[in-house]
Amino acid sequence: MRNTVPVFVSSTFVDLQPYRNAVRDSLHRLEAVVRGMEYFGALPETPRDECLRIVRSCSFYIGIFAMRYGSIDGESGKSLTQLEYEEAQRLRLPSLIYLLDEERQPVLPKYIEFGEPAEKLREFKRTLKSSHVVSFFTSPEDLAVRVSQDLPALIERSGTPIQRGELAKVVESLPRVTWLTPERFAFLKKEVAETGGIAPSDEVLKELMEFLLSGDRLAAVFLLARRARLDLREATDALMEIERRLFAVVERGARLLEQERLENSIDAEPRDE
């Protein structure tokens, strides 16, 4: 059995997407299983218990914080991001905390919160700084390097057993969907037909396809729920049909390739004169 390291990565969504992507790639190279609602957005309609359940399934916690406090939980008045952090601390998960370097990294005004959310964020950051040795990041690449350096040391200190190389092999074997060119996307869009129309844009549909083809159904569900304003059940039902049609195309292509291989092997056989 492979020993994998489940890591919960917590952050706000719209402002930190490039940073999350960089961290996810970095963690995959470190043979960690990446979990976290932040890949799908902090959905106001997402039950708080579901967020915390995912935290409880992990062995390590990584918190990434910039200039947004995030979606507020109506019961506690705290952001889901802060609740995820507090649950990780209650469980005493080994944690890494990264704060955006506000002096060196410019932030678009639309990604800065003001008023009460900003004050809550300032107070939250004060708690983080007083409870942890925090690291300040600038670019997505800078953050990825820091995570690559910090997580192995944290894992080693925790005594968690790791079977090196196994998860990296799995990740490398997944369809990386870098081949989803505009031409291929256009073809697949026709194949999913009206089912794909539930996505609010071609950009979202392409990202949904990439998640599905990479085997990340959960990410696809939360992305569609957030962008199309669906509940999770509606998003799941829609994606099941999109996935069915996508993989029908894949299976059809596999059969054609196998048929072509057999025909070529027959043609290559020596014939008696």
Bridge partners for 136 per DSSP = 99
Higher pLDDT, 160 or 168: 160
Tally the C-alpha atoms within 13 A of residue 209's C-alpha that lie toward its C-beta. 31
The pLDDT value recorded for residue 30 is 65
Q: Please tell me whether the overall predicted TM-score, pTM, comes out greater than 0.75 for this model.
A: no
pLDDT band at 41 (very low <50, low <70, confident <90, very high): very low
Residues 252, 249: Cα–Cα separation, whole Å? 5
**Residue that has been written with the tokens 């290559």 in this structure:** 268
The highest-confidence range among 13-22, 40-49, 130-139, by mean pLDDT, is 130-139
Q: What is the pLDDT of residues 134-143, one digit of tens each?
A: 999 988 888 9
CATH number for the domain whose boundaries are 5-170:
3.40.50.10140
Residue ranges of domains in the chain:
5-170, 174-268
Tokens matching residue 194: 């009206």
CB-CB contact of 174 with 215 (8 Å):
yes
